[in-house]
Amino acid sequence: MTGEKKKCVERAQLAMMLEVTAFPKPGNVDRCHDFKDTTLEHFLASVILVRPALEKAREPGARVGEVILDAVVRTNVHSGGNTHFGAFILLVPLVMGRDIPGAVTVVHATTVDDAVSFYRAFGMTQVRVLSTDELDINDPEAADILKSRNMTLYDVMEHSAGNDMVAREWAKGFAATRKGADLLQQHGNGRKSIVTTFLELLASDPDTFVAKKHGAGVAGRIQQMAQEVCSGTRDITEFDQECIDSGVNPGSTADIMIASIYVALGEGWQWD
């Protein structure tokens, strides 16, 4: 593995590690909180175990769908269930393309085979939420439909962009990822900037994982509470507790946060 390859892979792993350990991070697993069935250690085990998949992403001829599938297979070995599915959707093209412009090229070059591999990967996760959309990226049975319609993985993401902020990153040139990376630079080096940036991303857009699980109303309320924390009128610890008490975890914002850390690290932002 060349130095450049290794750098992208380790940067992705560091981004995953830094996101999950950052605290306090309202509603999500962090240094202070576990979920009932998924702990900090499950997330960190995934960070370790995903490495060979990310290394494959840097090999010539790597396919996005296959790498995402490989990442899920490798990290699906502990009892913590899915930890990073959304993050892999962003990190795999970013590692393949090295940076955002490269990732944009990568996602536009995806094929129907990538989409099929992606749905196989999805079928292995436990990210299942109700949806009325036959092509929702959260519905594993959509694979047959997309084959018959000759849809690439990019097409799938574009189709889902309206109600899924991770898919939207593919469709909109990684705009939120870019924004998060800029915010990290703006807030300066050090792990504290991760928490501040996370809150600002949460305040900017309703988290679509929360929306799918609890409805648009709850997602909007969470967004508003994040805005209040950012403006200093609400305490972050209280916000965190409220999220925990109501089972709300802004998981898609965390996925974008990981992508933002990856990008920022590549642009000289330092975590320590």
Closest distance between a copy of itself and the C-beta of residue 7, in Å?
A: 11
Closest distance between a copy of itself and the C-beta of residue 63, in Å?
A: 21
Q: Which is nearer to a copy of itself, 38 or 163 (CB)?
A: 38
Q: Which is nearer to a copy of itself, 54 or 107 (CB)?
A: 54
Residue 259 · residue 174 · CB < 8 Å: yes
What's the Cα-to-Cα distance from 61 to each of 38, 41, 58, 97, 157, rounded to whole Å? 34, 33, 9, 12, 21
Q: Which is nearer to a copy of itself, 34 or 113 (CB)?
A: 34
Does residue number 109 form part of the binding site for a copy of itself (CB under 8 A)? no
List the interface residues with a copy of itself, window 1-20 (CB under 8 A). 1, 6, 10, 13-14, 17-18
| Cα separation, 131 vs 213, whole angstroms | 10
* Block residue for tokens 């084959």: 147
Q: At 12, which amino acid appears?
A: A
CA atoms within 13 A on the CB side of 190: 6
Largest CA distance in the chain: 52
Residue 241 · residue 234 · CB < 8 Å: no
Binding mask 168-207 for a copy of itself (x = CB under 8 A): -----------------------x----------------
Angle, helices 64-75/112-124, rounded to nearest 10 degrees: 10
Q: Which is nearer to a copy of itself, 20 or 248 (CB)?
A: 20
Token readout for 149 is 């319609």
Residues in the interface with a copy of itself (CB under 8 A) total 26
List the interface residues with a copy of itself, window 19-48 (CB under 8 A). 21, 31, 39-42, 44-45, 47-48
Closest distance between a copy of itself and the C-beta of residue 33, in Å?
A: 10
Angle, helices 251-266/192-204, rounded to nearest 10 degrees: 130
Binding region for a copy of itself (CB under 8 A):
1, 6, 10, 13-14, 17-18, 21, 31, 39-42, 44-45, 47-49, 51-52, 78-80, 191, 271-272
